[in-house]
Amino acid sequence: MIPYFTIICLLITFVVSLGLFFQPKTDPYLRFFPLFLFLDMIAESASYYISIRIQSNLIVSNPLTVFTFCFYFFILSQIVHNPIAKKVILYVLFIYPVIALFNIYFVLKNADFHAVTYSIGCLLVVAICIYYFLELFQQTRMVSLLRQPAFWICSGLLFYSACSFPLYGLNNLVFRNVSYGTIRNLMILFNLLDVFLYSSFIIAFLCRIRVRKSML
């Protein structure tokens, strides 16, 4: 049941994201989320199916995590305002997948999870999100953070990446030296992180919708 949980969360988030096309003045970068979530949902389903049939789903999960990081880098490059920071993130967007895919297919031979390059991806996302918050705190004009999609997206990515870094980053060590019960508990923890991340995305998609109060 646990593997299905992430797919269900993805499905709900994808359905909510479709509403972005009907919202006026939607930030352009938000319109990429429905396609990303749809592809992610298909890949996660394929990964789950392969894990049942072949047991090892690395053929899907390894490149999927690289693709996911690249998408987050792109979104973050659209969120930050400093032109130099944007350029640096775009460099990261092109350099990271080269390093990660080289590690996966030439160093690990796609026989193990790419813990090192995954950890690097997490740290990069955390660093960029922190930079976004520094930019946010330096703004001179007042803004309602609760109605800023970028705030919710960066909050979700920051929390998810900071928490998943020690878990996924030590994946190769942890999952080989613990009992099945411990692994199951860790999977539940991973699912909770997914819930938090996708919930932050949903809030980002909906936070600009104004609810009109009915006149009595």
Sign of the Cα torsion 85, 89, 91, 96 reads: positive
| Token pair of 5 as six digits | 């949980």
pLDDT in single tens digits along all 216 residues of the chain:
455 788 899 999 999 999 998 888 888 999 999 999 999 999 999 888 888 887 778 899 899 999 999 999 999 999 999 999 999 999 999 999 999 999 999 999 988 888 889 999 999 999 999 999 999 888 877 777 888 999 999 999 999 999 988 877 666 555 555 555 666 677 778 888 999 999 999 999 998 876 544 443
CA distance 145 to 142: 9
- The closest alpha carbon to 69, from 133, 109, 6, 118, belongs to 118
The number of domains in the chain is 1
Domain presence at residue 214: no
Domain presence at residue 174: yes
Model confidence over 49-93: pLDDT tens digits?
888 887 778 899 899 999 999 999 999 999 999 999 999 999 999
Quickly count: other Cβ atoms within 10 Å of residue 201's Cβ.
Answer: 24
Domain presence at residue 211: no
- The closest alpha carbon to 13, from 198, 153, 154, 213, belongs to 198
Domain presence at residue 31: yes
Quickly count: other Cβ atoms within 10 Å of residue 22's Cβ.
Answer: 7
Domain presence at residue 187: yes
Domain presence at residue 151: yes
Contact 124, 89 (CB under 8 A): no
Domain presence at residue 175: yes
169: Cβ contacts below 8 Å, ≥ 6 apart: 115, 116, 118, 119, 122
Domain presence at residue 131: yes
Domain range enclosing 9: 2-206
Q: What is the CA radius of gyration of the chain?
A: 18
| Token pair of 26 as six digits | 């939607």
CA distance 206 to 31: 13
Angle at the Cα of 180 from the Cα atoms of 174 and 181, rounded to 5 degrees = 100
